[in-house]
Amino acid sequence: MAHMKCGDAIAYMHEYLDGDLPLEQRRKLKHHLSECPACAARFQSMQHTEALLRAMPVEAAPADLTHKIMKSLPKTRSPKSWTTWVRRHPGMSAAAIFLLIMLSSFVAMWNQGQQLSLKGDDLEHVVVKGRTVIVPEGERVEGDLIIENGELQVLGEVDGNLTVIDGNVTLASTAHIAGKVKEIDRAMDWAWYKLTSWFDTLAYGS
């Protein structure tokens, strides 16, 4: 009979105690236990533990357990008038909920903090110092530039639109903006800007 490793023997011990070990593997396990005192002691300890667990009394569930659980569950409430209206006007309800969620999200994002945010396709030549974003003189930024919660100083060129949200923009005499310059300082204007940007994304994919 081939020599069995102790690791395999331990795995066989668990299967044996669970009653899942085939007859051939049982014979191999018994042969190994007869030659390995360490595994034999381990198996005896496992058998002892298994016997203790089986000897422990099983606590029966109280007879009124089901009644107590059902009693603790919240009672079903009768539908209110507004829920009836929602069921009768599903289209208008969905539109109203959508607008409410969008507006709440926009206002929450507006108030979420004053951390500087800088977005654009070409930020290689943009310099950030604290909360101030600088387009240095002689440098050119390709595409749009969006700054939130910060100060913007343009000394060079921006080949696109420039949007400053909740901040200030300073254009030097050397500055050149190819597109539009938009400053957004009020939450509702910002929400409208975000909403139109979102619709543009859906319509044009960018």
Q: What confidence tens digit (pLDDT) does each residue in 87-99 have?
A: 777 777 777 777 6
* Closest residue by Cα to residue 25 from 4, 50, 45: 4
pLDDT at 102: 66
- For residue 93, give the DSSP letter: H
pLDDT at residue 39 in the model: 92
150, 131 Cβ separation under 8 angstroms: yes
Helix (H, G, I), strand (E, B) or coil at 157: strand
pLDDT at 35 over 80: yes
At 65 the pLDDT is: 74
Could you tell me the pTM of the whole model?
A: 0.38
Report the helix count and the strand count for the chain, using DSSP H and E.
7, 11
pLDDT band at 81 (very low <50, low <70, confident <90, very high): low
Tokens, residue 102? 């969008």
Q: Which residues of 178-193 are buried (b: 16+ CB within 10 A; e: fewer)?
A: eeebeebeeeeebbeb
Asked if pLDDT for residue 111 goes beyond 70, the answer is no
pLDDT tens-digit map of 126-182: 898 888 999 999 999 898 888 888 888 999 999 988 888 878 888 888 888 888 888
Structural tokens at position 156: 């060079």
